[in-house]
Amino acid sequence: MARDHAADQEESLGNRLNWLRAGVLGANDGIVSVAGVVVGVAGATSNREQILTAGVAALVAGALSMAGGEYVSVSTQRDTEKAAIATEREELREDPEAELDELASHWQSRGLSAELARDVAEELTAKDALRAHVEVEFNLTPGELTNPWHAAFASLLAFGIGAAIPVVAIGLFPDGLRIWVCVAAVVVALLLTGLISARLGNANAVPAIRRNVLVGTLTMATAWLIGRLFEVAIT
């Protein structure tokens, strides 16, 4: 019982870490993509209202796009997982002995003796046959499938928070300062998201931060040069 509780706690922690990591990456996307838009427009015009309009439009469109894409993706994944679970349930109903042999073979292939593998398979089957099989075959847990609405909202929120940083930074200061303040705010934000993502993955923070900041600064520099090159006036 204690082992099952510890396993459930570990699985729950893993799920929370995955969601947090996805949120950090979503915020990172919002920071970089919207920073590119506002800096690019600022390279073409000094009109604050036009820059903010472009930034807010990019924030809203990007957040809705991320949420919609996540909803469709997770819904498709959930449908596939539900179909796999339904198939396994039907196979257990039609031929439970064959399924028991299959489960025992799995544990034997993992290094257990034939006798112990059979005992494990029988004990797991007696407790929850469907869960025992779908966890082994599909790495799924019945009743704990990802909710597409939760995924969509998390993506919407994470992208929106990240995207708000360059929009607010570039909108608060006068021409001549706004681009530099925006760049500084974005670099700091990317440093933090790089650090957090590295810590969540137990990875070296320095390469993650370097990649994050490099991609962000290249995006802003390219967008600013395009704005200056074409000198597009938004009307």
Q: For 144-180, how does the pLDDT look when each residue is reduced to its tens digit (9 = 90+)? A: 787 888 888 988 999 999 999 999 999 988 888 999 9
Task: For 39-85, write each residue's pLDDT tens digit.
Answer: 999 988 889 999 999 999 999 999 999 999 989 998 998 999 899 89
**Banded pLDDT at 186 (limits 50, 70, 90):** very high
Residue 43 within any structural domain of the chain = yes
158 within domain boundaries: yes
Residue range(s) defining the domain that contains residue 55: 26-229
- Does 1 reside within a domain? no
Helices within the chain (DSSP H only): 2-44, 48-94, 96-109, 114-138, 148-171, 178-200, 205-230
* 13 lies in some domain: no
Residue 175 located in a structural domain: yes
- Asked if residue 130 is part of any domain, the answer here is yes
- Model pTM? 0.77
- Give the per-residue pLDDT at 16: 58
Decide if 55 contacts 34 (C-beta within 8 A): yes
Angle at 166 between CA 165 and CA 172, to 5 degrees: 95
Residue 192 lies in a domain: yes
Residue 199 covered by a domain: yes
Q: What's the total number of domains in the chain?
A: 1
